Structures are given as C-alpha cells and as structure tokens.
Amino acid sequence: MKYKHIFIFLSLLLPVVAAFGQTQTQRLESHVYFLAADSLQGRKAGSDDARKALRYIESEYSSIGLQPFLDGDMRQYFIRRKYTTPNGKGVDQRVISADSVDYWTQKANNVYCNLVALIPGSDPVLKNEYVLVGAHYDHLGVRDGQVYNGADDNASGSAAVIELARRLMLQRDHLDRSVLICAFDAEESGLWGSSALANELELRGLLKNVKMMMSVDMVGWLKTGHLSFSGTGTLKNCSRLIRSAAEQSGISERHHGFETSPFGATDTEPFAKLGIPTLAVTTGLGSPYHKPEDDADLIDYVGLSKVTDCLVLLTSAMASVDEPMEPTGKVSPKHTDDLPFFQGGLVLGMGPNHLNIKNSAFRTKSLPAYQLGLLGQLNFTNHFGLQVDALIDGGSTRFPLGDNLLEGESEYGQLQLLIPAQLKLILGTKDINVQLGLGGFYGYVFRADLVSGSGRNKVVQDIDIQHPHQYGLAFGLSVRMAPFISFGFTRLRALSGVDSPLPAEARRCTTMYQISYIF
C-alpha cells in the first residue's frame, strides 16, 4: 500500500520537477514541437487535431494554475451561424457562443473552442480591468497531402503565451489589473475565435474593461530581425512601455502607430473594431508563411524566449497601477469602416488627346498625352467627396498644315499644369468602391510648340502663348481598392481655345487613363 502512495506522490511530483528542471527556452521548444508535430495534422479549426492542440494548451494553463473566466470554464465554445441583421435587410454570418457542449461532444465540425483564462489582479478596484494577451492555435491543416504544421504561425505565439502566463502567475501579487490569457480557435478561417470572444465580452458588458488586447502571432523568427508591435497609436504612452520592455529584455523592437495592411489580419481586429486599444506582436513574415515548410526545427527558440521575456515585462507594466492605460481614441484606418477624411496619392496617366474646332465637326488626329502628379481627396461622408489633382501634363496632337491636306502633317504639343477638381460619388465599401466624378479643370499652359517634317527636316517651332489659361469640364470613373490602388479614367473637355496654329479656335479634348497609388 505504501508503495502506492509513493507512486502517487512521485507521479504528482514528476511534472513539477520536469517543469522546474527545464529552462524557459526548453519549455517553449517542447510546446512548439508538440503543437507543430505532423501528428497534429496542421491543427485545422474544427478538426480533431485542433482539439488535441486545445487539450494540450488547456492542460498547460491548468497546471500553471490559471483560473477559468467565463462561467467557470476555460473553454468558450462557439459556432458560426447565419443571422438576420437587426435592420432585417440581410443575412450575415456571426460567431456566437454555443450554449451547449453537446455540439463539441458530438464532434460536429462546425463547433470551435477558445480558451479564456484569468490571472486575477490584486488591486480591489483595478482587478476589474483587464490586459488581454492571446494567440491563435489553429492553422491550415492538410492541403494536397501536405501537412501545414504552422510552427511559427502560430505554435510560436501559443507557446509564448503559455510561458508568459507561467511567469505572470509567479508574480501575480504585483499585478494590479487582471490579465486574461487566451488561446483563439479559427483565426485562419477569418478571425472567428477572437470575434466570438470580443462579441461575448461585449454582450456581458465587460469589453470596455479590456484596457489592452495583444495578439501574439508568429513570433518564432526573431533571427531575421526584430520584434514588431503595431498599434501604439491606440494607447497613450504605449511606445514608452514597449521601448522599456524591449530594452530590459535585450530585444530589438520596431513599433508602428497602426496596423496597415488591408490583406493580413490578426486577432486584434474584432477588438480594434469595437474601439479597444490593440497591439499586434510579431517577428514578421520571415518564416515560410502559410507554407508546408513552416516547421518546428526552423524556429529561433532563444529568440522566442527573449520575446516571451519582453512580453512578460510589457504585460506586467500594463497591469500595474502606475500605468493609467488611457486609450487615445484613434483607430487604424484598417479597423474602421469609414473612409479617412483625407487621402493623398500619386497619379500616373496617359491617353489620347486631340483638338476640336469650335462650331465644326473637324478634329485633329489623336496622339498620346501623359500626366504625372499628386491627388488629394476629402471624403465628407462614405459616399461623397472632392478630389483635386495637380498634374504636369504633356499632350500632342497631329493635324494637316496649311489648306492643302497633301502638304504634310505637323504636330502641335503643349505642356501645362493641370488641375482637375471633381465631386465624387462613392459606391461600395471603404476597401473596394467605384467612384464617379464630375467637375471641371483649370490648366496653365507654359509651353507650346509645333513640330513639322521628320528626320533631318524636322523643325520645332515655339509658339507664342497668348492664352495660357485653360478651363473646361472633367468627369471620370474609377475603381479604388483602399488603401493602395485606384484605376480608371478622367475625360477632359476644354471650353476655352488653345494657341494652336489652326485658324479657328481649337479646344482640347483628352481621355486620361490613370493608375493611382493612394496612401
């Protein structure tokens, strides 16, 4: 009998010794090797393999001593369900908490699960405020027979958050605010896990108490550079806290005011869209991103341990009474559905250019015109704006010289400063829309010449500019994919004559096919 007791004692002691006997780097390594093993088949959300990953993280959280947060259970089940929008106009997909664990036990593959755990703060008031640190644990699964192990994306972040939680538990008496430790499911499916938690916290009136939400996503490749934090513009004093934590942990950091890419999204997004300050933490895209080669043997474990150190320092500073944790109220353009009030851009255009003769059907032959310059746009609402460009424009056209068409042709060219201004009707969303423009233009011609003959007989003749001021109508159509690219055309039709050598008043008509880089 007594052997049995010794056996139980030893078996209880063993994991403790094992845990304490290992360094943080070794523990991080074993988490990543477990989560990114071929046996977990890429942890595809909703699969049995993702559930194995969940159970592993859950047992780590439990052994560290983390507490359940929602309804006495670390697990937050959720489903993705069709739902009629409040105005009754459309059907949307929403992630909502699943009341019943039956879904899970039935192994229905449309049920997902987050882990939400608590390290309670020690201040009687501030413990009701939260610093949330989360990492998604799902990945892409198996595609074309190849396992996408997702060691960097995001076994690395999951491992860092486990070890961060362990360290914070050891110093929990020094945490004034509470810390929420989260493992998100179904990030790769479209940020479903983080959306489910953000929605749930909002429903319970707890979301406003989240003072910072950090997503730790792909942090295993410090060897390629630095640790990057995006979102410092959402919280006052955030840059100072990051600098201090990075300095103390001997890590090289870069921080950015806001997340920018419209394509890459991480779990910060559902929180940021609800007005919560967020930070996206990553060592970047140096790893074989979303490729089957993203394996555990490529991870920089010493670097991952430094990242963990830095995040421990940052999280505990944020949980401290000394930090007021005030949001700035500013949101990344990526995290709002509104168009920014001001947009700037570079414009490159080219298109056919000819002259119309007043009161006549005669027009000169088209030659290309080229434009290069800047655009500025004010968006008064999401559907109405004003765009003004400042372009250097060079355009030519060809017409018969003299009365006799057989005498040969010559080219008339002019260089001008061109300022089209158009009121814009914007149809679509912030990220992709069609813009219809209607307005006018002003041009200042500072050079005009006439080229006749060709080869050796070519003669360039400067034209004396009598009418440098040009004006006319402008209208355009463009497709814009915010915040980068716009393409479309603007048509200009002059109402005033140019100094062409034609006997009658000649008016310019140009179609500019434009590509713009919007920033």
Measured from the CB atom, is 154 or 305 closer to Zn ion?
154
Angle CA 276–277–282, to nearest 5: 125
Q: Is 217 in the site for Zn ion (CB under 5 A)?
A: yes
Dist. CA 353–CA 329, nearest whole Å = 48
Q: Is 158 in the site for Zn ion (CB under 5 A)?
A: no
Measured from the CB atom, is 196 or 317 closer to Zn ion?
196
* CA gyration radius, the chain: 31
Q: Is 387 in the site for Zn ion (CB under 5 A)?
A: no
Tell me the sheet residues that pair with 517.
346, 485
Stretch that binds Zn ion, among 102-110, 154-162, 232-240, 337-345 (CB under 5 A): 154-162
The residue count of the chain comes to 519
By C-alpha distance, which of 194, 209, 201 is closest to 325?
209
Stretch that binds Zn ion, among 197-205, 216-224, 341-349, 406-414 (CB under 5 A): 216-224
Amino acid at 53: A
Q: Which residues contact 432 (CB under 8 A, 6 or more apart)?
A: 479, 480, 481, 482
Maximum separation of any 2 CA atoms in the chain, in Å: 122
Stretch that binds Zn ion, among 68-76, 91-99, 217-225, 361-369 (CB under 5 A): 217-225
Residue 132: CB minimum distance to Zn ion, A = 17
Residue selected from 153, 259, 267, 294 as contacting Zn ion according to rule CB under 5 A: 153
> How many residues at the interface with Zn ion, by CB under 5 A?
3
By C-alpha distance, which of 174, 262, 276, 263 is closest to 215?
276
Q: Is 185 in the site for Zn ion (CB under 5 A)?
A: no
Stretch that binds Zn ion, among 17-25, 148-156, 247-255, 319-327 (CB under 5 A): 148-156
Angle CA 376–381–386, to nearest 5: 30
481 phi, psi to nearest 5 deg = -110, 100
Measured from the CB atom, is 61 or 184 closer to Zn ion?
184
Residue 260: CB minimum distance to Zn ion, A = 17
Q: Is 268 in the site for Zn ion (CB under 5 A)?
A: no
Measured from the CB atom, is 184 or 399 closer to Zn ion?
184
| DSSP tag of 185 | S
Residue 339: CB minimum distance to Zn ion, A = 28
Residue selected from 149, 154, 232, 516 as contacting Zn ion according to rule CB under 5 A: 154
Measured from the CB atom, is 154 or 371 closer to Zn ion?
154
**C-beta separation of 339 from 482 below 8 A:** yes
**Count of beta carbons in the 10 Å neighbourhood of residue 96:** 15
Stretch that binds Zn ion, among 63-71, 215-223, 268-276, 436-444 (CB under 5 A): 215-223
Q: Which residues bind Zn ion (CB under 5 A)?
A: 153-154, 217
